[in-house]
Structure 1
Amino acid sequence: MTVHPFIEAEKQAGHSVKRACELMKVSRTAFYARRSGLPGPRAVRDAELTKQIVEVHAKSRGTYGAPRVHAVLMREGAGCGRRRVARLMQAAGLQGRHRRRRHLTTIPDPRAAFRPDLIVRDFQPDRTGLDARWCGDITYIPTEEGWLYLATVIDIASRRVVGWATADHLRTELVADALTAACRQRRPTRPVIFHSDRGCQYTSQQFAALATQFRVRLSVGRTGQCWDNALAESFFSTIKRELLDTSAWPSRAAARTAITATELLKYKLSWTTACTNELRCSASEILQLACVNCENVNYPALGQGPSSSRPASCPEWATAVSSTYASP
């Protein structure tokens, strides 16, 4: 605790500075040096970091907390600790988004047929394995009209949302529409594994028949194990924190419009939000994730899948390569 503000108050009140310094056991020289001196190197550095933190926080639309802001600063070359970032964010009145209380959407069917887990928590990105493994899940959005439910289909290889659907119910038609949208958009040329939880929508006979029609092999995780579908859970955590929980939605149509317009469903995931192991990507993972924006989705003819090659002139890919090999 510093005593200089007390001495300053005594001085403003017309009392003796000498007597106040003697009582507080500090020298008058130190008091006047602090009173009239320039900010120290640490204070100057704190001001610079605060400015950078405010910019990063604003770019994230007010969603990033101290860990993710610290990760961005470290990637930009700003040497600082996470606790220092947390202290400066608190002093500036900044904080990240927090999740609301969870609403139950996974209702298992005890009579459902057994299906194996073909993913086994292997959600590593693979730029050569597009349209080979998908995963999906259902989440909820509260509106003034009632719940709006969102079902997604994500390509594990590229982190792209390749299909999605919304509805005001939790019937099988919701997940069936999402899978149909994914198959019609991507048009895979080989059987695809689709991984989900054991919700009754995904284990129903109707969904199994649709999967057979599209040559999709169904895979399910264990009951009560969210880590078995970690990629889908991570995506929902991000979109809720950065979009769906940022405001109250007056209607289902308003929420649906916001979801349609969000960049997360336009396949423009940043490196920080794209990786399931957030903030701890290795150099090889960054190389694999860096170019999700320019993954080719050109379909020259019906039945031909997307090309896995990337244009050599892609600036994001070149930046990722150069920054990765330049790192120690």
Structure 2
Amino acid sequence: MMRFDAKRDGFAIPMAILLIGIITAGVVGAFARVESEQAVVDDRHRETDAYALAEAGLNQYFSMRRGLPRDTTLTLPGGEAEIHVELVREEVDKAALYAVRSTGRPFVSGRAAPASHDIVQLAWFRRGDMQVHSAWTSISGLLKNGNAGALSGYDKCGTEFMTGCVCQPAKAGVAVPTGEYDGKTKPVEGDPPILEMGTREQMADQINIDWDAIVNHDALSADYRIPPDAWPYAEFADDTSFWPTIYIEGNTSLPSNGRGTLIVRGDLTLGGGDEWTGIVLVGGKITDNGQGHIRGAVVSGLNIKIGEKVDASSRANGTKTYDYDSCAVTRAATEQSTLRPMRNTWMDNWAAY
């Protein structure tokens, strides 16, 4: 007769342990798969963010860029865009072609893999320029008291202001409406010393400056508008490469010596020792007293171009020196240079070395 051993070892516990191991391995595998898929999703999010940052950086660079094209890094929400500018075609007729590459990089934390994306846009660089008739062009006429000083149209050619600057032929010492230069002529020199340009209205038509666009539409994109901005005393004192465009509403005196492009809507009064290097554009008249030095090019009486009367002639009293300097003019005008995207040239497969 067969007997059953009640104490024989069973298989339930080993089987349960085996099943638990299999289930655990499955759960671990599932979590690993989810984590891997999440990493892929995160990577794609970072790639998308990098693309968005590159696009935003490129647009911001074009909207803010004046002056010579330069490499820069823009800090944006969630990351940064590194801008690199590469010359494609040399300047011809004051226009050069550049490739502007924007590399977007989102900020990452922990051990997350960094991401970046490059996009490129071709752009035309057009150098700022100014038509110069003389060292001092006054549409409202000019009175020079005394024989001291100089109003010179011979190019001082300050190459220290602009690398590669080339000296230009002489301009007139002063340019005025016909018959509206009064006073001493000895301080005036140039080719010719005095350029007469017809009536005030005829002269205004020959001055290729869009005064209406400047005073009413911010055509020159001033770095400082006074008021409400304050005069940049410290910047002028601390940085010799600081060549801003400053627009002053109404009548004013020159707060301090400086350089760049100075635009005055009303009348400008200069005192003893005042100095400016670059471009000076004045809507009304200039009254210049005592010693001082303007180096570059000056135009006054521009309000006549927009139909406003400028009753009195500009005056140069005392030892005044107005020197035409093509390099100073070019340096100041360069800050108004523009970089404009060329249509249908956006790409994200530009080779970088």
Normalising to structure 1: TM-score of the pair? 0.28
Compare relative contact order (CA 8 Å, sep 6+) and give the higher one, 1 or 2.
Answer: 2
State the structure with more CA Rg: 2
Greater strand fraction, Structure 1 or Structure 2: 2
Q: TM-score, structure 2 length as denominator?
A: 0.27
